[in-house]
Amino acid sequence: MTARLFPFIASAAALLLASCGSSGLAVLPKSAIRSGGGLFAPAESFPIAKPSAKTLASAASKQKDRHGMPVYTYADRTRLVRTTAYTCSEADHLIFGSSNATGTPLRYTNRVRSAAADWSFYPVGTVFRISGLPYLYVVDDYGSALTTSGTIDIYKPNKELMNIWGRREVEITVVQWGSFNRSAEILSKRTKYDHCNRMLANLIRQRPDLVRFAKR
């Protein structure tokens, strides 16, 4: 049995070399994920755990954002969050290719994956987990549609997987907060874009010491 499985495992492992762009990062492509029982078939169908009763109760008492989702303080690491999905082949992302807002490649490996958010809610470099999934997600991107909300956009390597994800309310746990200073520094160089200007203004509202970046 082991001898029979080895060629299949080797073949499936080779599929990890595909990517959305030219970043060369190992990803789980559509052919591996949607193979109907193949080695990586469950990769996009891991059961996403329902938010706990404690998380739901906490969410109910919070102020709401423009999508009716709870607004948390940075002390709250476990959260109920509205998520959407995006891919680098969407029309509004084509000019960026497979790069994120920091200029580095978008990530979609079997360990670490990219995500986009309003950096005044989740500063660049924030690491989190989605309950029920085995990956670490890193906020290394942003999007104009995310501004002024706690919505997180989950990166997918193609439109099919983006559509499979759709829109989901999930429980996340923030493993590590990103850098407010780096977020402000990057955004301060892009204030000609309204969404960047708004994120920077909200960062400064929360952290007045960051005003030094706005004056550069």
- Please indicate, yes or no, whether residues 63 and 169 belong to a single structural domain of this protein: yes
- Does pTM top 0.85 for this prediction? no
Structure token pair of residue 205: 């509202």
In terms of domains, do 109 and 132 share one? yes
Q: Kindly state whether residues 72 and 147 are assigned to the same domain.
A: yes
How many CB atoms are located within 10 Å of the residue 49 CB? Answer: 12
Note the pLDDT tens digit of each residue in 85-101. Answer: 999 865 544 445 678 99
- On whether both 13 and 81 belong to a single domain, the answer is no
Co-location of 134 and 67 in the same domain: yes
Element (H, E) at 206: helix 194-206
Residue 18 tokens read as: 């595909």
Residue 207: give the domain boundaries. Answer: 181-214
Q: What is the CATH number of the domain that holds 101?
A: 2.40.40.10
Number of domains, the chain? 3
Q: Tell me what the mean pLDDT of segment 46-53 comes to.
A: 83
Look at residue 209 in the predicted model and tell me its pLDDT. Answer: 94
The percent of residues in the chain predicted with pLDDT above 90, rounded, is 69
Same domain, 35 and 100: no
User: Are both 62 and 106 inside the same structural domain?
Assistant: yes
